[in-house]
Amino acid sequence: MTRDGEPLNPNHAQPQAEGDVFELCVDADAAGSRLDKWLSAMINELTRTRLKALIEAGAVTRNNLAVTDPSLKVKEDENFCVAVPRAADPEPKGEAIALDVVFEDADLIIINKPAGMVVHPAAGNWSGTLVNALIHHCGDSLSGVGGVARPGIVHRIDKDTSGLLVAAKNDAAHQGLSAAFSTHDIERVYEAIAVGAPRPGVGTINALLARSLTDRKKMAVVKNPQRVDARKAVTHYKLLESFGRKRAKLPGDAIASRLQCRLETGRTHQIRVHLSSIGHPLIGDPLYGRGPGLSGLKPGAPETDRAIEGIKSFRRQALHAKVLGFVHPVTGETLRFERDAPADFQKLLALLRQI
C-alpha cells in the first residue's frame, strides 16, 4: 500500500485512519508474540482492543486465509494483512422500535427478538437494529464494553433467527455475562425444523467450524485441527417430532422433523452448519440448504400440497432461540426464560403435522 506516492515500510505501519490496508511481516524479535499484541505494536493508530475485534471479524489474513484467533502466536517471516473497514456513521442512534421485553432490571435486559431484526449496525443495516431500539429504550444506561456500534451486546443471534437474547446495561453485567459465555455457563436451547430426521434421534455433533474458503458469508465444518481459525463447536440435538413418514417414498423416512438443539459452544451459524453437515439442513435456510427434498413426498393429497407450499414459502431458516438461562452476573440470582416460537414457525409445524 502506498500513501501520497510513498511506499509503506512493511515492518512499520504509519499512523492512518479507517479504510487502510496494512501488510506486515513478523521479524525475529516478535516471533512468539500474540497476534493482537504484535499488531498493536506495529499499527500505532489502532488500539489492541480494536485490533482484536478486527481479528475476530475476519479482517486479518495470513496467506489470504482469515485468522480469527487474537491469541495466535506469530512466527518469524509470516506475512499478515490487516484490512481496516472504512468508518460508517460512527454512533448508532436510538429509534422508537417496539421491543418484546421478557425481563429487565438495572443491570440487564432480556429481549424476545423477532425474525428479520439485525442485532447491531453493520454494512447494509445501519438502522432498524436491536441496538437502535435498545438505545431508545434504555437511554444512556447501556454498557460501552461492546464498542460504539454494539453497546450492551454480549452475544448475537442471526437476523432471521427469532428468540431470546440478553444485553448488558452496565460494564459489570457485561463483563460477567461475557465470562459466562466464555466458560459455557449459559443455557441456550433452540427449536429447529429440519429436513428429514436424524438417526439416532438423540446425539451430539462435535465438529470444528471456520470461515468457508469459497464463500466468506458462510461457515464450514473443517477436518484439520491445525487450521488456525478452526474453533471447537458442539451441538447436542434431540428429535422431538417427525413428519411425513406415512407419505414418504421409503418406509421409515421422515420428510421433516422438529428438533431441540442445545448449545455447548456458540459459534457463528453453529446449529445451521452442524445440522447441514449431517444431512439435515434447516428448512428455509438460504445459505446451508433451502429444500427439504420435496421429491420424497407423494403428491396429490390436499394436506401434502399445503405442506409443500408452506415449506416453499418459508423464507428464513426455521430456527428459534427458545430457552436462555444463566446466573445473574450482579445479583447471583439464577434466571431462566422460555418463549415459544413465533406464528410463522408454528404455522409451518401445523402444516407438517398434517402429512
Q: pLDDT tens across 190-204, in order?
A: 999 999 999 999 999
Angle at 286 between CA 146 and CA 303, to 5 degrees: 125
Q: Is the peptide bond before 114 cis (omega within 30 degrees of 0)?
A: no
Q: How far apart are CA 48 and CA 45, in angstroms?
A: 10
- The pLDDT of residue 1 is 36
Q: What is the mean pLDDT of residues 301-324?
A: 86
Mean confidence (pLDDT) of the chain: 86
Query: Which residue is it, cell 452475544?
Result: 155
> What is the separation of C-alpha 85 from the centre of its chain, rounded to a whole number of angstroms?
20
- The pLDDT of residue 184 is 92
| 12 vs 168, more confident | 168
Q: Could you list the residue range(s) of the whole structural domain that residue 114 is in?
A: 101-182
Judge if 178 and 191 occupy the same domain.
Answer: no
Judge if 335 and 309 occupy the same domain.
Answer: yes
Judge if 273 and 170 occupy the same domain.
Answer: no
CATH of the domain at 167: 3.30.2350.10
Report whether 193 contacts 352 (CB < 8 A): yes
Exactly one of 107, 158, 229, 285 is catalytic; name it: 158
pLDDT at 89 over 70: no
Judge if 213 and 319 occupy the same domain.
Answer: yes
Of 210, 288, 104, 43, the closest CA to residue 52 belongs to 43
Report whether 218 contacts 287 (CB < 8 A): yes
Judge if 63 and 205 occupy the same domain.
Answer: no
Judge if 151 and 210 occupy the same domain.
Answer: no
- The pLDDT of residue 299 is 57
Provide the number of structural domains found in the chain: 3
Give the cell for residue 332.
447471583
Of 327, 333, 337, 325, the closest CA to residue 176 belongs to 327
Angle at 344 between CA 220 and CA 253, to 5 degrees: 60
pLDDT at 182 over 60: yes
pLDDT at 144 over 90: no
Whether 91 maps to a domain, the answer reads: no
Judge if 223 and 279 occupy the same domain.
Answer: yes
Task: Indicate the pTM of the whole model.
Answer: 0.73
Of 194, 161, 160, the closest CA to residue 277 belongs to 194
pLDDT band at 48 (very low <50, low <70, confident <90, very high): confident
Domain boundary among 54, 83, 112: 83
pLDDT band at 10 (very low <50, low <70, confident <90, very high): very low
Q: How far apart are CA 165 and CA 171, in angstroms?
A: 17
Q: Is the peptide bond before 200 cis (omega within 30 degrees of 0)?
A: yes
- The pLDDT of residue 99 is 96
Domain boundary among 182, 204, 222: 182
Q: Cβ–Cβ contacts within 10 Å for residue 297, how many?
A: 21
Q: What is the mean pLDDT of residues 131-135?
A: 93
pLDDT at 298 over 90: no
Highest mean pLDDT among 19-23, 151-155, 309-313: 151-155
- Residue 105 is among the residues annotated as catalytic for this protein: no
Q: Which of 288-292, 320-324, 333-337 has the lowest mean pLDDT?
A: 288-292
- The pLDDT of residue 19 is 62
